[in-house]
Amino acid sequence: MTRRHPVGTAVRSALTEQPDLHMFCTYQQPDLVDLFGPDRMVRLPIAENAMVGMAVGMALVGRRVLVSIARVAFLFTAFDPLVNQATKWRYMSDGQFSVPLVIRGLTRGDEHLGAQHEHSAHSMLSQIPGLVVAVPSSPNSAAGLLATALRHPDPVVVLESPRLYTPDWADLPEPEATPAPLPFGVAGRALAGRDLTLVGIGNTVALCLRAARRLAGHGLRCQVVDLRTAAPLDRDGTAGLVAGAGPVVLVDEEPRASSLLCDLGLHLVQVGAVEPDRLAFVCGAAVPAPASPVLLAPLLPTVDDVVGSALALTRRRYAATGGTSTAGSH
């Protein structure tokens, strides 16, 4: 995170505007310590259970805490204070207590750090009642979701891909033009189109945008939907976006058996937004992430996978209606 990065700007703005906001981290940025002091910028050992436990206690007595952990994999060691404490106090106290806690953690993205460091956990975390799970797809959406999280009264986990901090991001598709607070539970349209809809979350939104470019060469105008949050999941809003916008391809780096996009796909069919035979999934493999780039590449969705699924759906549609597909004719 640098001074020019939208996420850094969001953090500094929140620290400036909210004197009760504290930040727990294992590495202190000197400029933030100079601006806000060591009492608010608290450096702690690499002990995630203790970090989250302390943050829950501070939040219960009226402070707001931002916990920055290196990897979402390390959040698993802090499940007791997160799952059994932070997300339960509002319910157990009948609303008398809230836990304004935000946890940031890196997921996976071109670093090849191996099975113990690279996790995609948004579906797992979305099963915890009382927890908001934000999954940004771009630097601007990360800043917007974090800005909202730092005003939210309840626990939020923000799952950030390392790809959001690569220096060549300007060369990648950008779903939002300018950083602005983004509401939870509201999917966004990253690209307009009416022939086909690609739905992604986190890393797969940029993947869908690249696939849409490729599909444009086949004469298909693709809509791309960015889910933004895994919990709350915008089922109805997504249904409204995809209705009448052609076949739907749902794309997730997580395994299909556990992906929340399966639940979303079921909802889209149940409400009549899409027919079952016009729906496809492109998901990751159910294996730990290998450190080798050669071994990892076949396990994650690719642009070719998305394009292939989209073209198959389109051809199936035209074959069923007896028409002639424009796919592949340009």
Per-residue pLDDT 10s for the chain (330 aa) are: 444 688 888 898 899 999 999 999 887 777 888 888 888 989 888 899 999 999 999 999 999 999 999 888 899 999 999 999 999 999 999 999 999 999 999 988 777 788 788 888 999 999 999 999 999 999 889 999 999 999 999 999 999 998 888 766 554 445 454 568 999 999 999 999 999 999 999 999 999 999 999 999 999 999 999 999 999 999 999 999 999 889 999 999 999 988 999 999 999 999 999 999 999 999 999 988 888 889 888 889 999 999 999 999 988 555 555 554 433 322
Reading the block at residue 206, the tokens are 């940029």
Residue intervals of the chain classified under CATH 3.40.50.970 are 6-171
Residue intervals of the chain classified under CATH 3.40.50.920 are 188-321
Q: What are phi and psi of 189, to 5 degrees?
A: -95, 110
237/91 Cα distance (integer angstroms):
27
Q: How far apart are the first and last CA of the chain?
A: 42
Reply yes or no on whether 117 is catalytic: yes
In this structure, what is the dihedral angle of CA atoms 237, 240, 246, 247, given to the nearest 10 degrees? Answer: 40
5/15 Cα distance (integer angstroms):
16
Q: Which residues pair with 284 in a beta bridge?
A: 255
DSSP H helical ranges for the chain: 6-17, 30-36, 48-60, 72-75, 79, 89-92, 122-125, 139-149, 203-216, 235-242, 260-270, 293-296, 303-321
79/310 Cα distance (integer angstroms):
38
Catalytic residue among 117, 119, 122, 218: 117
8 Å CB contact between 14 and 21:
yes
DSSP H helical ranges for 103-219: 122-125, 139-149, 203-216
Reading the block at residue 175, the tokens are 């779903």
42/130 Cα distance (integer angstroms):
26
How many helices (DSSP H) and strands (DSSP E) are in the chain?
13, 12
Which of the four CATH numbers 3.40.50.200, 3.50.50.60, 3.40.50.920, 3.40.50.2300 does domain 188-321 have? 3.40.50.920
CATH class of 6-171: alpha beta
